[in-house]
Amino acid sequence: MIYYIIGGTVILSVLIIMLTAFIRKRKIIKIGKDGEKKVASTLKKYAGIRGYKVINDLYLPLYDKTTQIDHVLIGFFGIIVVETKNLSGEIYGDPKKKDWLHIMGEKKHTLYNPLMQNQTHIDCIRHLLGKENIYNVNIESLVVFSARKVTLFVPNKLPIIYFKKFKKYLKQPCFEKDNDIDIQKVYNALMKYKVTDKKLIAEHNKNVKIMAKNNK
């Protein structure tokens, strides 16, 4: 009888651990999505007034894999590629270094340089636009940290901002300039290459989780 009790206790403990890990994972995903929703909402309002286009959560082919882009704003000025990070705590980074430091309480993690991450997105977009014979499009990179309780320790004048400064960033005159960009043509070109295969998207997300786990 005692063996059944011990066995049941062990199984229950394992199930609790698995459930806790699942809940924690879901919470992290929700936090990230909440940050993206805030940025997407701001972009939607901004683009709607000006007749610009916004693409959120865009998966594009990259070599034999895929890359996921949080937000793409397409206007007469060109394109802004936005990477959203909804991380709390302290972020220490150097634009030339691959790994950045993320400190939250007593926990320390490495964070892949979001500027390098976004540059990959930009290079991918340029390549695909080139395949459609679309050139001379100005593409700006921007990283937005959307969490309220985050402190950035990065060099000044980098394209990295807090969410509270996002609306002010979009009000810059350069984003009102008409560089004769065909918004619909650029939008159609990117949507043409949009990855919708659920298996490829699932594989991408799986690889991202593995990378995040290895950086802890």
The answer to whether the CB of 153 falls within 8 A of the CB of 91 is: yes
Q: Which pLDDT value is given to residue 191?
A: 98
SS3 171: coil
Mean pLDDT across 93-99: 97
Tens of pLDDT, residue by residue over 33-83, are 578 999 999 999 999 999 999 999 999 999 888 999 999 999 999 999 999
Q: Supply the pLDDT for residue 206.
A: 76
Between 160 and 24, name the one with better pLDDT.
160
C-alpha triplet 195, 199, 205: angle, nearest 5° = 80
- What values do phi and psi take at 102, rounded to 5? -120, 120
Mean residue pLDDT of the chain comes to 87
- Comparing 107-111, 193-197, 209-213, the range with the smallest average pLDDT is 209-213
Give percent of the chain with pLDDT exceeding 70. Answer: 80
The confidence score (pLDDT) of residue 27 equals 43
Q: Which residues contact 86 (CB under 8 A, 6 or more apart)?
A: 31, 32, 34, 35, 36, 145, 146, 147
pLDDT at 15: 61
Q: How far apart are CA 11 and CA 9, in angstroms?
A: 5
Model pLDDT for residues 20-36, shown as the tens digit of each residue: 544 444 444 444 457 89
Q: In terms of DSSP bridges, do strands 139-145 and 78-85 run parallel, antiparallel, or are they unpaired?
A: parallel
* Residues 6 or more apart whose Cβ sits within 8 Å of residue 13: none
Asked if 107 contacts 88 with a C-beta cutoff of 8 angstroms, the reply is no
Taking the C-alpha atoms of residue 93 and residue 115, their distance in angstroms, rounded to an integer, is 10
Residue type, 38: K
Domains of the chain, by residue range, sit at 2-214
Q: Rounded to two decimals, what is the model's pTM?
A: 0.81
Distances (CA, A) of 143 to 17, 203, 207: 35, 24, 21
User: Using 50, 70 and 90 to split pLDDT, how confident is the model at 162?
Assistant: very high
pLDDT surpasses 60 at 4: no
In 3D, which of 22, 136, 124 has the Cα closest to residue 67? 124
Pick the more confident residue, 124 or 199.
Answer: 124
Question: CA-CA distance, 79 to 59, in Å (whole number)?
Answer: 16
